[in-house]
Amino acid sequence: MMTYVKRAEQFLTKVADIFLLVITFTLLAISIVLFIEFLLLSPKVIHVEEIILTGHMKDAAESLKELISPLLMFVIVVELAIMLVKHQPRIVFDVLLIAIAREIIIAGYDFKNVLLGTISLLILFFIRKFLTLKSIPPGTAVIIDPYITIESLNEMLDVHIPFEEDKYLIDLIERLAKERGIVLKKRKTIDIANVKIEILDVDENGKPILVRVIKTA
């Protein structure tokens, strides 16, 4: 029964990943089209240098604001696409920082909005600096479902397990066991990169259903 549940979860995860990829490619395609249109049709791109050289600094500032604002929007879309593909929560901070910076630029001389935006940036920097874990020491261990993606595990433990061939930890464990002639059973360990993977439980078919991952370096 457990095997069918895991297979269903894995299938749904793959469907969700495909759906996210479709959304990501759609966002990027729309952004590319709008970006090309922006470069071709915006007169500000061509005349900014001319306005600056003629000494009309106020007009130059407005032109630069109109130029930078949409460019930052394109950056936000790209960062969102990266976040959807990589599933890295820390990218949310980058997206928020860019979005707030764009709003500050749009606010221009509106002191209240600029002040609120600046305070928001300071709060985000504070959260990122003091409330996010910078590094995880060796010896740290987590007990986890082996159907976690390797990329998520790397993010969680700050390790460097290669995932070019295998997306899920269970796939990596089974491939390495086959290559090294290891029988997967309770208390069996597999060393890879800078982690040690210990099998804590297996199902009736000998497939790992619970593992402990220990950071070794």
pLDDT digits (tens, 9 = 90+) for 176-195: 888 988 888 888 999 988 89
Choice among 61-75, 159-173, 176-190, 192-206 with the minimum mean pLDDT? 61-75
Q: How many domains does the chain have?
A: 2
The enclosing domain of 183 has a CATH number of 3.30.465.10
Q: Are 24 and 32 in contact (CB under 8 A)?
A: no
Select the highest-mean-pLDDT range: 22-31, 119-128, 208-217.
208-217
Given this model, what pLDDT does residue 17 score?
75
Q: What is the pTM of this model?
A: 0.47
Tell me, yes or no, whether 106 and 145 share the same domain.
no
DSSP result, 130-155: HSS-----TT-EEEE-TTSBHHHHHH
Please state, for a pLDDT cut of 90, what percent of the chain lies above it: 7
Tell me, yes or no, whether 77 and 182 share the same domain.
no
Choice among 39-48, 78-87, 131-140 with the minimum mean pLDDT? 39-48
Tell me, yes or no, whether 71 and 152 share the same domain.
no
DSSP result, 114-135: HHHHHHHHHHHHHHHHHSS---
- CA neighbor of 216 nearest in space, from 135, 138, 144, 150: 138
Q: Given pLDDT bands bounded at 50, 70 and 90, which one contains residue 78?
A: confident
Residue 114 has pLDDT above 80, yes or no: no
Q: Are 45 and 35 in contact (CB under 8 A)?
A: no
Tell me, yes or no, whether 73 and 108 share the same domain.
yes
Tell me, yes or no, whether 11 and 115 share the same domain.
yes
The parent domain of residue 153 ranges over 141-215
Tell me, yes or no, whether 26 and 74 share the same domain.
yes
Looking at residues 33-59, what average pLDDT do you find? 61
Domain presence at residue 75: yes
Domain presence at residue 71: yes
Tell me, yes or no, whether 92 and 172 share the same domain.
no
Given this model, what pLDDT does residue 48 score?
52
Looking at residues 118-145, what average pLDDT do you find? 74
Q: Dihedrals φ, ψ of 5, to 5°? A: -65, -45
Q: Which residues pair with 154 in a beta bridge?
A: none
Given this model, what pLDDT does residue 47 score?
56
Q: Are 161 and 171 in contact (CB under 8 A)?
A: no
Looking at residues 5-26, what average pLDDT do you find? 76
Distance, CA of 83 to CA of 78 (rounded, Å): 9
Tell me, yes or no, whether 66 and 171 share the same domain.
no
Residue 159 has pLDDT above 90, yes or no: no
Domain presence at residue 42: yes
